[in-house]
Each structure stands twice: as C-alpha cells, then as structure tokens.
Amino acid sequence: MGRSEQSVSRSAVSPRRVVLLGALGTAATLALGRPASAGPLARAAYPLVTRAAWGADESLRFTAGGTEIWPPEYYPLQTLSLHHTADGSSNPDPAARVRAIYRNDAVGKGYGDLGYHYLIDANGRVYEGRWSGTDGTPAHDAAGRLVTAAHIGSYNSGNLGIALLGTFTDTPVSAAARASLVQLLAELAARHSVDPLATVVYRNPVSGVTRTVAAISGHRDWAATQCPGTLHADLPQLRRDVDQLTVG
C-alpha cells in the first residue's frame, strides 16, 4: 500500500448486456457503457456495511484545526486490484478490525483515511472504505468517477482496491468472502464497462506512468509482494466467474 500517485487508459470493450443478481435474488439487467451513476452498489447481491455502520471516526480525516488531511480526487476507473489485509489481528469482530486498519492508515501512516476502497470479511460482508463524498455512492462521486485511494504505491488514481480481511499466505479465503468478491467485481465491471478477461494499459492520470496489467489483478502484479496470498492463484478462475456473472 502507499499514497504516492499514478494511473490508465481503459481498454476498449464492445457493448454487451450484463445481468446481475439483485439484493433479493431477482435479476437486474444493465448495459455496459451506461453511466457509472446509473447502477448503485446497493443493487448487487452482497451485504454492504457503510462507514457509519462500521463505526468510522470521521474526525480522523481532519487536522486539529479542521483541515481535511487528504481531500478526495476523482478519476475514471481503469482497473480493479485485489489484496489481503495481512493485519495480523485475531479480533473476532471484523468491524473492529476495519476500524483498526482505518486508524493505522489515517493516523499511523498519515494518509488521513483508509487506503482501500472496499474490504470483505470472512462472512462475505463488504465494508465501505475510502471516504468519497456525501452522495451515498461508496468509492465514487456523483458523476461515477472513482475516488483515489492508497493501496498500490504509484498506481492509485483510477485503480480500485478491494482487500480481503485477513492473511491468506497459506490458506484460501472463505467461500462467503469469495462469493461477495465475485458479486462486487461483477457490479463494478458492469458499471464501468470493464471486460473481466481483458488486459489493459493502465495510465496514471496524475503522473503519466503506465503499466500493462489484467483488468482484474492482484497486488503482486504491480509490486514485489506476497499480497493477495492464495487469492492470486485463483485469479484466472475468479475472472471467469465474474465474466459469467456479467454476461447475459
């Protein structure tokens, strides 16, 4: 993780229909290329825990004088990157672990906020990460652009980061966490016209740095790290599962 900057040009994908499972199991049909603001995340079939619900202390985002430490910036989404938190916590309360990661990122590392856009616990609950405004759409502004977070140094703007809560160096993620991850990726891929099976040339809109990566990648595809652990070997099948969910 790191709060230094850089981002990508999205690869072209042909228009096609997508089908997502609605929150109550009903099918909701969207069209790729539709404005990002048209498909609220609450529509997907995963439980979303907002910042307020997991107990984010919003005062951590400000100095003692009331200045926002890390004002949000927004850019079009280009890639989706996966992590494990490797936070070393044994706390049975996942919300408490999210709060601890938030405090460490915001205060310990001096970021001023969480470095991930979303986190997912072993029960498949999805936690809203980086603060993105007051429009009620996690990770995005009202125009559907992605807020810049801090999960891969030099490659953050336009790169969405999802972290699985825990350390998965030797063990797989839970079935519930994986299922929610697939749903979340499918919803995001649909709303941003991302082909889950594509390779893209990411270009940091701030620094101009480029990198050729899979549209859905792991942290180790960007940097020398073990992150996201065993999830990395699962990426080929994960991409296929996301693609199957989004193609109708």
Residue type, 155: Y
Helix (H) or strand (E) holding 29: strand 27-31
Q: Tell me the sheet residues that pair with 17.
A: 31
Per residue in 36-87, pLDDT (tens digit) is: 333 333 345 799 999 999 999 999 999 999 999 999 999 999 999 999 999 9
> Which tokens in the block code for residue 68?
């926002």
The model's pTM is 0.84
11-40 as b/e, with b when 16 or more CB fall inside 10 Å?
bebeeeebebbeeeeeebebebebebeebe
Per residue in 91-150, pLDDT (tens digit) is: 999 999 999 999 999 999 999 999 999 999 999 999 999 999 999 899 999 999 999 999
Model confidence at 246, pLDDT cuts 50, 70, 90, reads confident
Q: Cα(228)–Cα(197) distance, rounded to whole angstroms?
A: 19
Helix (H) or strand (E) holding 54: helix 51-54
State yes or no: pLDDT of 153 exceeds 90.
yes
Identify the structural domains of the chain with CATH numbers, from first to last: 17-246 (3.40.80.10)
